[in-house]
């Protein structure tokens, strides 16, 4: 059951909630749409996917784990990790916001900060503890220089 408590599963669940909100909106207000929001949604989702791929590539190159709750073997601070300590999770948030905009359901954007809070609580806090335990002052300096999200 550990596979259920993984960030991609949470992201899929939140995207499903956004889709459900879009369907409810369509049932309540048939014909109402925000076509102008679609291109923004696509761009946000693409940026999110690119962030995730770039971060995963960097982690692979440094031969460290991408799996939450595993002990990292290296600290990655360059590239997209110089923009955010958590570019994969930031990419997830962009994909979720992009989905909400693509479907034109502005109220679903409230799911983005909820998702970010949940990911911080379920994963990031523990990951940062493991990074501190493994890399000490090096991680502390990185934490001071680089924001958690953006």
Number of domains into which the chain is organized: 1
User: Which whole number is the average pLDDT over 44-53?
Assistant: 98
Query: pLDDT band for position 1 (50/70/90)?
Result: low
Residue 76, in any domain of the structure: yes
* Sequence-ordered list of residues with C-beta below 8 angstroms from that of 6, at least 6 positions apart, any chain: 68
Residue 150, in any domain of the structure: no
Query: pLDDT band for position 4 (50/70/90)?
Result: confident
Query: Regarding predicted confidence, which is higher, 2 or 59?
Result: 59
Tell me phi and psi for residue 9, to 5 degrees.
Answer: -65, -45
> Which residues span the domain enclosing 95?
2-145
Give residue for tokens 């999110």: 48
Please name the helix (run of DSSP H) or strand (run of DSSP E) that holds residue 108, with its range, or none. none
Residue 66, in any domain of the structure: yes
- Residue 106 token pair: 């502005």
* Sequence-ordered list of residues with C-beta below 8 angstroms from that of 34, at least 6 positions apart, any chain: 101, 104, 106
């Amino acid at each position: 059951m550990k596979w259920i408590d993984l960030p991609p599963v949470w992201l899929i669940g939140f995207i499903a909630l956004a889709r459900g909100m879009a369907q409810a909106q369509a049932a309540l207000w048939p014909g109402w749409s925000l076509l102008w929001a679609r291109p923004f949604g696509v761009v946000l989702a693409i940026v999110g996917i690119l962030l995730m791929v770039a971060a995963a590539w960097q982690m692979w190159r440094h031969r460290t784990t991408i799996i939450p709750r595993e002990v990292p073997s290296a600290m990655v601070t360059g590239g997209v990790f110089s923009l955010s300590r958590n570019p994969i999770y930031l990419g997830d948030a962009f994909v979720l916001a992009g989905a909400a905009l693509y479907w034109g359901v502005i109220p679903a954007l409230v799911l983005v900060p909820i998702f970010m809070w949940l990911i911080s609580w379920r994963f990031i806090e523990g990951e940062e503890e493991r990074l501190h335990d493994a890399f000490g002052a090096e991680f502390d300096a990185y934490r001071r220089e680089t924001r958690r999200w953006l």
